[in-house]
Amino acid sequence: MSLKAEKAKLFAKWGKANRKMALELEQPARGSFELDPLKFTKRVRVKTFDVNGFYGVTINGSYPKNAHILMLPGGAYTLEPTERTREIGEYLAVYEGFKVSIFQYPLSPEYSALNAHECLMKAYSSLRKEYPEDDFFLFGDFSGGGLALSFLQVLRDKGELPMPVKTAVVSPWLDIALENPKIKLFQKTDVILPLEALREAGRKYCGPLENDHPMVSPLYGDWNGLGPILIFSGTEEILTPDCELLAEKAGKLEGTEIIYKKGAGMFHDWIKVPSKETDGTFKLICSFFRDEDWE
């Protein structure tokens, strides 16, 4: 593990990051406006879009390709995008040449999963119409990763729009209730995620849906026909046991290729911290999207 990643893990532990997140989930801040066009670097062009009153941006650098990432930011379905969300989008646009659309889907507790999926479907449909020549890829971290994997299943079942070419997720939330018994073991090393606070946030996000409904817990859905999916999780986070369960299904699926990468010693959603490991993760994701020799 690099020195930056090791320091980030220590700071999270000393700073009691899990307690801080628990408080943020209890009283989520609103109005951060981290996706405001004026906050983006001048190296990207920014275009805003609106879906039912929910905000999104599409950015691209100087030489955009017809490769378009729909990015779903994480935050336990509750917290707004951060400055780091914007930085990741900028990196993908400026240094990797993608168009990047970041959509702030409806958040809990004001809204439920049904609202999030409804708006995401409209956003995806609108973007495909606006950029008909683009190949679309889906990317999400944490709850954004869980939503991406749920959305793939909804999109396939509706059969009205083309599927994304490929999907990549980091530290996805696969079971909203976090019921895997192995989580207790991983809880000892996870210095970021507050288990009980997440369970409560998950209950609010479910709304009228049951905990095992695929729209909130993609782990329990039908995983056939979803295309290539690249999944990352760290060995020191409570979301990994469910990622391991999903990886066990990989060889039995039709029309879906699951590639699972486990980050040794890595903490939850490490891409939020600039480091050697983060750089390597994004290089793998971009190479995966481009069909380059990446493994």
3-class SS letters over 3-71: HHHHHHHHHHHHCCHHHHHHHHHHCCCCCCCCCCHHHCCCCCEEEEEEECCEEEEEEECCCCCCEEEEE
Each residue's pLDDT tens digit, 258-282: 999 999 999 999 999 999 999 999 9
Q: What is the pLDDT of residue 15?
A: 87
Tens place of pLDDT per residue across the chain (295 aa): 888 888 888 888 888 999 999 999 999 999 999 999 999 999 999 999 999 999 999 999 887 789 999 999 999 999 999 999 999 999 999 999 999 999 999 999 999 999 999 999 999 999 999 999 999 999 999 999 999 999 999 999 999 999 999 999 999 999 999 999 999 999 999 999 999 999 999 999 999 999 999 999 999 999 999 999 999 999 999 999 999 999 998 889 999 999 999 999 999 999 999 999 999 999 999 999 998 765 5
- Asked if 123 and 103 touch (Cβ cutoff 8 Å), the reply is yes
Each residue's pLDDT tens digit, 188-218: 999 999 999 999 999 999 999 999 999 999 9
Q: Is the peptide bond before 181 cis (omega within 30 degrees of 0)?
A: no
SS3 147: helix
Q: What is the pLDDT of residue 122?
A: 98
Q: What is the pLDDT of residue 295?
A: 56
3-class SS letters over 152-200: HHHHHHHCCCCCCCEEEEECCCCCCCCCCCCHHHHHCCCCCCCHHHHHH
Residues in the chain: 295
Q: What is the pLDDT of residue 3?
A: 87
Helix (H) / strand (E) containing 217:
none
Q: What is the pLDDT of residue 279?
A: 94
Report yes or no on whether pTM surpasses 0.85: yes
Alpha-carbon distances, residue 35 vs 82, 94, 270 (angstroms): 8, 16, 21
Amino acid residing at 264: A
